[in-house]
Amino acid sequence: MKQDMTVPCEDGFINIRVGAIIMKDGKLLMVGNSARPEYLYSVGGRVKFGETAEEAVVREVYEETGVRLEPDRLGFVHENYFYGDSGYNSGRLIYEISFFFYMKVPEDFSPSCHSMTDDAATEHLCWISPDDPVRYYPEFFRGELRHPEPGVKHFVTDERK
């Protein structure tokens, strides 16, 4: 099995990941888990060595929803410095580069989640409005997905400050 694109660097890690923007009827499909119920995150995960970002997002969507969706287009590139909150990365600085793709969603899309996190927490799917007051990642979805624009936008988040 190919390795996740997580590379040790000094006392932290560099991650390369993908996220899926799956919207239907004005709602956004997000993932939550039993270990950290206080927030939601986009469907997606780490790119494996040898995969392209598009291949990774197709694989991750299938793993987390049970449905193969095609990418429509790249929407966002997100550079993110943050401190890990679980397992081997707890308290360690992580630099993550994420590619978020808008996905083509058929009318009969009916996802089913049977996935788990790296630390064996059970994941679940939920539909939310981008305006929903729940805490979710990435935060820029809240404003950007109300009125999606063509092209690719770049965001930088830095929790070191």
pTM over 0.85: yes
- Give the pLDDT mean for 143-152: 92
Instruction: Render pLDDT for 10-68 as a digit per residue (tens, 0 to 9).
Output: 999 999 999 999 999 999 999 998 777 788 999 999 999 999 999 999 999 999 999 99
Q: What are phi and psi of 138, to 5 degrees?
A: -85, 145
Q: Judge whether 15 lies within some domain.
A: yes
Instruction: Render pLDDT for 85-134 as a digit per residue (tens, 0 to 9).
Output: 777 778 899 999 999 999 999 999 989 877 766 666 688 899 999 888 99
Peptide bond into 138 cis (omega under 30): yes
Q: Judge whether 1 lies within some domain.
A: no
Look at the chain and report how many structural domains it folds into. 1
* Helices and strands counted in the chain (H then E): 2, 10
Residue 161: partners with Cβ closer than 8 Å, 6 or more residues away? none
Both tokens of 8, joined, read 């040790």
Residue 12: partners with Cβ closer than 8 Å, 6 or more residues away? 89, 92, 93, 94, 95
Q: How far is CA 161 from CA 10, 14, 55, in A?
A: 19, 18, 34
Q: Judge whether 149 lies within some domain.
A: yes
The pLDDT value given to residue 90:
82
Domain ranges, residue 143: 6-158
Residue 76: partners with Cβ closer than 8 Å, 6 or more residues away? 98, 99, 100, 138, 140, 144, 152, 153, 154, 155
In three-state secondary structure terms, 118 is coil
Task: Please return the burial class of 103, using the count of CB atoms within 10 Å of its CB with bins 0-12, 13-18 and 19+.
Answer: buried
Instruction: List the CATH number of the domain containing 90.
Output: 3.90.79.10
The pLDDT value given to residue 40:
95
- Give the pLDDT mean for 4-12: 93
